[in-house]
Amino acid sequence: MNVKQWLCRQGESRSPIFLIRLMVGAVFLSEGIQKFLFPDALGVGRFIKIGIPYPNVMGPFVGVVEVVCGSLLLIGLLTRLATIPLLIDISVAILSTKLPMLFQKGFWATAHEARTDFCMCLGLCFLLVTGTGSCSVDAKCGGESGS
């Protein structure tokens, strides 16, 4: 097989969904854990600073959602379902932190700060549409394959 055939080949082997799951799942898992390790900077304290209602409840709640759903993405279990709370999570993060920044600091500063949020949002949308892929717990158990 030559390079052109390899690049143009269709199918699951040319679409390693597990890499997207790994990227998105690892970031959310890490961020969720950090909400508990550093509550003043990334958890309750941050939620107070940006004006999230009920920060003492929402900080730990969001941390749990990120840990649980990030872990589900990593192993490929209930992938499409796990993307939904994370899409809500990232949407609230963008609306509460990046939108005000856009008006205060302008487009380029916001674009710089929002790059991870933007990538996570697109990664979640990709997983919602494609599903879990063949290298996943769901595929091994006969669940969705993402085809």
- What tens digit of pLDDT does each residue of 39-65 get? 999 999 999 999 999 999 999 999 999
The Cα-based distances of 46 to 27, 129, 137 in angstroms read 18, 32, 35
138-143 — which CB contacts under 8 Å span 24+ positions?
A: 138/76, 138/77, 138/78, 138/79, 139/76
Q: How far apart are CA 106 and CA 87, in angstroms?
A: 24
Q: Which pLDDT score, from 0 to 100, does residue 147 have?
A: 42
Angle at 25 between CA 20 and CA 27, to 5 degrees: 105
Per-residue confidence band for 132, with pLDDT thresholds at 50, 70 and 90? confident
pLDDT digits (tens, 9 = 90+) for 101-130: 999 999 999 999 999 999 999 999 999 999
Mean per-residue pLDDT over the chain, rounded: 89
pLDDT digits (tens, 9 = 90+) for 30-46: 999 999 999 999 999 99
Residues 6+ apart with CB under 8 A from 50: 96, 97
Per-residue confidence band for 5, with pLDDT thresholds at 50, 70 and 90? low
Angle at 94 between CA 91 and CA 97, to 5 degrees: 140
137: pLDDT strictly greater than 60: yes
| 3-class secondary-structure state, position 138 | helix
